[in-house]
Amino acid sequence: MNKSSIIPAPWSLIVCAATLLLIACGNEPPPPAPVPAPVLPALPPTPEFDADSAYAWVAAQVAFGPRVPATAAHTACGDALVARFKALGAEVVEQTGSVTVYSGQKVPLRNIIARFKPEVKERVLLFAHWDTRPFADKDDERKNEPIDGANDGASGVGVLMEVARSIAKKDHGPGVDILLTDVEDYGQPSGAMVGDERSMETWALGAQYFAKNPHVSGYTARFGILLDMVGAKDAKFYREALSMQFAPAVVNKVWRTAAAIGHGDRFIQETKYFVGIDDHVPVNKVLRIPSIDIIQYDPSTQAFGPYWHTHDDNLSVIDRETLRAVGRTVLEVVWQER
């Protein structure tokens, strides 16, 4: 080839191409700006929890007498609870039947379920037992007579009856079911704290019935909170070990909330194993609803206080400040659910 026939590219074109290449490589378009998180509307303020109202509901239950299944006091008290729920606008479901207690005797069962905003699919479950111990097996006297159960039974129900008053006005977030279980406290004497599975299964019969026969087919809830023995003076609430096993995130939420609203002195950030079985166990195991137990623990007795399952569990044990600490905490947790 004749070298004189090769026409070199003009220098201006070469420089221009190189410049464009450098610009393309060194000036990539900036990344897209992050999309801001949606601003959720502010929730209405959490209503005040009226400890006097909760106390009045504890006193009203005790006034009926021991709420032992198959007694007139039990029937009358149940009727009063149902009437109050209906007056608040709840849809009430009653589960009735019979269960066999540790002695082989069949006793009637009456679970009471109050459904607030039943049309909403998302649910939260609050529960407590409303029956009382049919004998005072931890007492030195009158062992075969039923107890008042002011703390063991009535306190949890009293708190939930006052919580229900506020929940009835709640328009946001999930619906709430309040379950009052029956035949919780008819278990085999000395069988609640030991490792004998057969004796422990004689407790919480109403909750066992509910777990196997929920009021709604396929029933579930975001979480559950059980209240048991939540009204005694100076009561402390430790993180219960089975709750930590089944639902640690719910425990953390409740205990953090308690601390944030000024009740950290009541809700102790320490785990204790002291419950063999309670109503939250079948709800966790059968329905798979992560549920926790807010229940008093007394380090001096390594149980639930010296009045537990004795005739000293009467109205004199109940303290409005304890009811207030528990009630405010539970109401705040539920109210903040969106």
pLDDT, one tens digit per residue, over 65-75 is 999 999 999 99
Which residue ranges make up each domain of the chain? 61-335
What pLDDT is attached to residue 198?
74
- Quote the pLDDT of residue 14: 46
Question: How many whole angstroms separate alpha carbon 77 and alpha carbon 85?
Answer: 13
Q: What is the pLDDT of residue 47?
A: 98
Going from the C-alpha of 282 to that of each of 138, 194, 312, the distances in angstroms are 26, 18, 29
Give me the pLDDT at residue 83, please. 98
Domain 61-335 sits in CATH at: 3.40.630.10
Q: Which residues of 143-175 are buried (b: 16+ CB within 10 A; e: fewer)?
A: eeebbbbbbbbbbbbbbbbbbbbbbbebeebbb
Q: Are strands 224-228 and 267-272 parallel, antiparallel or unpaired?
A: unpaired
Query: Would you state the pLDDT for residue 27?
Result: 57
Q: Is 118 exposed, middle or buried (CB count within 10 Å of its CB: 0-12, 13-18, 19+)?
A: middle
**pLDDT at site 8:** 43
Residues of the chain with pLDDT under 70: 1-29, 190-197
Query: Taking Cα atoms as reference points, which of 258, 223, 260 lies closest to residue 243?
Result: 223
Please report the pLDDT score of residue 20 as a whole number: 44
For 321, other C-beta atoms within 10 Å of its C-beta total: 14
**For position 31, what pLDDT does the model report?**
80
What is the DSSP code string of 40-61? PPPPPPPPPP-HHHHHHHHHHH
3-class DSSP assignment, residue 158 = helix
| Spatial distance between the Cα atoms of 7 and 299, rounded to a whole number of angstroms | 100
User: Phi/psi at 109 (nearest 5 deg)?
Assistant: -120, 140
pLDDT at site 316? 98
Helices (H), 112-271: 156-167, 197-200, 205-212, 241-246, 248-260
Residue 48: count other Cβ atoms within 10 Å of its Cβ.
11
Report pLDDT for 26.
53
How many CA within 13 A on the CB side of residue 32? Answer: 3
Residues in CB range of 328: below 8 A, 6 or more apart: 49, 261, 263
Angle of CA points 169, 50, 260, to nearest 5°: 90
